[in-house]
């Protein structure tokens, strides 16, 4: 598949559902060529592809794979660079959650969470950055969490990974600023996605009552913020932007 010479290109990791899906549709709605990634929800990823190709002015290419695996990421970017010379925007969205006491967490669970939530950001950035540096432009936006800022009980590993994204974002922004590349992250509050599906109706209501806006955020609201940051002034870099309904 080849893209239009004038197209803009974005890679969205974890694009099969929730925030990633909303981001993919948002960019495609603006006529962008979107690379759609996920690890295992391929049927849902193909549904996103179908919606874009049938109903939106943009285009898309499936690049499935585990972004927590350096080998998979290399293959993903080989496919991307067969279609375009450089990404305009990289959206690091892939993530998983883990609830439970830290002392009950296995080595495998810990490693899997770090690979998916934090190492994936490193691997994708490492592959995306060289052409951006050559071109002296590009945007990297990572989807993080408010728990990366304040921490959450029984989500220690998740909080640690998201805090790692914040540190990586701030440091990488300084490293890449001379090359004209902006690096920012979004610290999401409680967003209405499948990741929160474990909540009972009672827990759901109690949590909403703790949020000043009285509701969960929507994936579309986060996607709109991603779009805005991808077009923000070049001087805005190294920022952790919260979208949490006033929770913290």
Which residues are catalytically annotated?
158
Q: Which position has the token pair 């290419």? A: 61
Closest CA to 211 of 116, 123, 122, 146: 146
Structure token digits, residue 73: 């990421």
Do 94 and 118 contact (CB within 8 A), yes or no?
no
Residue 10's Cβ-count burial label (10 Å; 0-12, 13-18, 19+) is: buried
Per residue, the 3-state secondary structure of the chain, as one string, reads CCCCCCCCEEEECCCCCHHHHHHHHHHHHCCCEEEECCCCCHHHHHHHHHHHHHHCCCEEEECCCCCCCHHHHHHHHHHHHHHCCCCCEEEECCCCCCCCCHHHCCHHHHHHHHHHHHHHHHHHHHHHHHHHHHHCCEEEEEEEECHHHHCCCCCHHHHHHHHHHHHHHHHHHHHHHHHCEEEEEEEECCECCHHHCCCCHHHHHHHHHHCCCCCCECHHHHHHHHHHHCCCCCCCCCCEEEECCCCC
């Amino acid at each position: 598949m080849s893209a239009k010479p004038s197209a803009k290109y974005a890679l969205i990791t974890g694009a099969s559902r929730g925030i990633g899906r909303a981001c993919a549709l948002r960019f495609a709605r603006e006529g962008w060529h979107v690379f759609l990634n996920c690890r295992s929800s391929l049927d849902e990823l193909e549904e996103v592809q179908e919606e874009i190709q049938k109903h939106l002015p943009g285009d898309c290419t499936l690049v499935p794979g585990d972004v927590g695996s350096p080998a998979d990421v290399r293959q993903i970017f080989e496919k991307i660079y067969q279609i375009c010379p450089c990404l305009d925007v990289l959206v690091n969205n892939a993530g998983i959650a883990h609830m439970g006491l830290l002392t009950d967490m296995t080595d495998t669970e810990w490693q899997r969470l770090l690979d998916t939530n934090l190492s994936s950001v490193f691997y994708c950035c490492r592959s995306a950055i060289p052409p951006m540096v050559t071109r002296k432009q590009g945007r990297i936006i990572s989807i993080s969490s408010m728990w990366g800022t304040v921490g959450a009980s029984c989500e220690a590993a998740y909080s640690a990974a998201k805090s790692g994204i914040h540190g990586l974002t701030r440091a990488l922004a300084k490293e890449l600023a001379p090359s004209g590349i902006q690096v920012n992250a979004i610290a999401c509050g409680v967003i209405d996605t499948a990741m929160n599906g474990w909540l009972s109706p009672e827990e759901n209501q109690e949590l909403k009552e703790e949020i000043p806006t009285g509701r969960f955020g929507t994936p579309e609201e986060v996607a709109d913020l991603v779009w805005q940051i991808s077009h923000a002034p070049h001087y805005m870099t190294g920022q952790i932007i919260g979208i949490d309904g006033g929770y913290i």
